[in-house]
């Protein structure tokens, strides 16, 4: 367990550094979107392309892994929406609560952390989960969030807008491009490869630092909008679900799929369990803000899962590997 903490500590320490830098205004809040843009549009796509291009194409097209992870994501979304709905929490807030319960921070944190723990072969299954969460989970939750509106076509339009947003997101395209390079065994021109390598190497530290800064920014903006203390039952159960129930669900469904004869690789199943044990994706707070959901609730869930996962994720690693 101590060996695992030695590996995970620097990752969470960088998140804390970003949080403290933003909180103490060493990093201006206006600079955070710029950092996020660098990670999202430059560094992270290069990292995903590099991992995708060096991963066997069979791992990137693992249908069994996609089915298992997708089934678990849909169960998570449906269950959290169902138990969250009440007089105070409508479709909009319940849907984004479900999104933070089902969408791990795989891109910014998970891929580099899992590769550090398990080696480069962990990148393939982790990248698959990013595609599922970006293409299906987030689009579904955004569509569900529009059901509060009186317009019957609201959910349909929201789903189309979500898919349009996915089409403009460079991460799926970087994964696809990496898969094509892997399948065709393409080698980039050396100066181009070195440039991509420099950006890819920057992805992990800058992304982790940015996570911390985004957490403080979300918390700061949410605190300015709130006028009364938020009941703990509105956010703590979702955080517990994300860190405990979600990985257990992936574990149970994965074991059941293998027992049923589905060609799911045990290592891929283990990686997906650890992906599910990651904290909630930090970019959900920006989505919630864009769609006028309760950003205070979402920020609390993300902050709580990020802080607690230093221990819970390390415990999951100790149990799984």
The mean pLDDT value for 53-78 works out to 92
Q: Which helix (H) or strand (E) holds 29?
A: none
Number of domains the chain contains = 1
- Phi/psi at 169 (5° precision): -80, 125
- Rounded-to-integer distance, Cα 136 and Cα 148, Å: 20
Mean of the per-residue pLDDT values of the chain: 89
Amino acid 266: pLDDT = 94
The answer, yes or no, to whether residue 220 has pLDDT greater than 90, is no
What is the span of the domain harbouring residue 193? 2-320
Residue 227: the pLDDT is 60
- Give the model's pLDDT for residue 5: 85
DSSP conformational letter for 280: B
Contacts of 113 (CB under 8 A, 6+ apart): 8, 11, 278
Kindly report the pTM of this predicted structure.
0.90
Region 240-244: what's the mean pLDDT?
97
The mean pLDDT of 36-45, rounded to a whole number, is: 92
| 257 pLDDT more than 60 | yes
CATH of the domain at 130: 1.20.1530.20
C-alpha 157 chain-centroid distance: 24
Q: pLDDT per residue over 126-167, tens digit each?
A: 999 999 999 899 989 988 888 876 455 566 676 676 667 767
Does position 109 have pLDDT exceeding 70, yes or no? yes
């Amino acid at each position: 367990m101590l060996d695992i903490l030695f590996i995970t500590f620097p990752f969470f320490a960088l998140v804390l550094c970003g949080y403290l830098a933003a909180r103490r205004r060493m990093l201006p809040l206006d600079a955070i979107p710029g950092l996020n843009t660098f990670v999202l549009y430059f560094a992270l796509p290069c990292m995903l392309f590099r991992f995708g291009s060096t991963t066997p194409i069979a791992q990137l097209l693992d249908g069994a892994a996609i089915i298992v992870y997708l089934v678990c994501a849909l169960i998570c979304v449906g269950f959290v929406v169902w138990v969250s709905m009440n007089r105070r929490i409508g479709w909009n807030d319940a849907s984004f609560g479900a999104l933070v319960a089902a969408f791990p921070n795989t891109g910014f944190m998970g891929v580099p952390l899992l590769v550090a723990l398990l080696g480069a072969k962990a990148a393939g299954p982790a990248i698959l989960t990013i595609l599922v969460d970006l293409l299906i989970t987030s689009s579904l939750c955004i569509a569900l969030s529009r059901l509060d509106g009186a317009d019957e076509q609201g959910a349909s339009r929201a789903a189309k807008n979500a898919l349009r947003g996915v089409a403009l997101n460079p991460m799926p395209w970087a994964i696809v491009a990496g898969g094509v390079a892997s399948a065709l065994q393409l080698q980039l021109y050396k100066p181009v490869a070195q440039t991509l390598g420099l950006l890819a190497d920057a992805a992990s530290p800058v992304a982790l630092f940015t996570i911390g800064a985004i957490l403080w920014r979300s918390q700061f903006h949410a605190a300015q909008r709130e006028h009364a203390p938020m009941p703990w039952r509105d956010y703590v159960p979702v955080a517990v679900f994300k860190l405990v129930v979600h990985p257990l669900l992936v574990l149970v469904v994965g074991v059941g799929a293998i027992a049923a004869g589905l060609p799911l690789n045990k290592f891929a199943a283990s990686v997906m369990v650890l992906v599910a044990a990651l904290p909630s994706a930090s970019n959900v707070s920006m989505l919630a803000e864009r769609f006028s959901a309760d950003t205070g609730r979402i920020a609390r869930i993300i902050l709580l899962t990020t802080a607690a996962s230093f221990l819970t994720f390390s415990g999951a690693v100790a149990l799984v590997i």
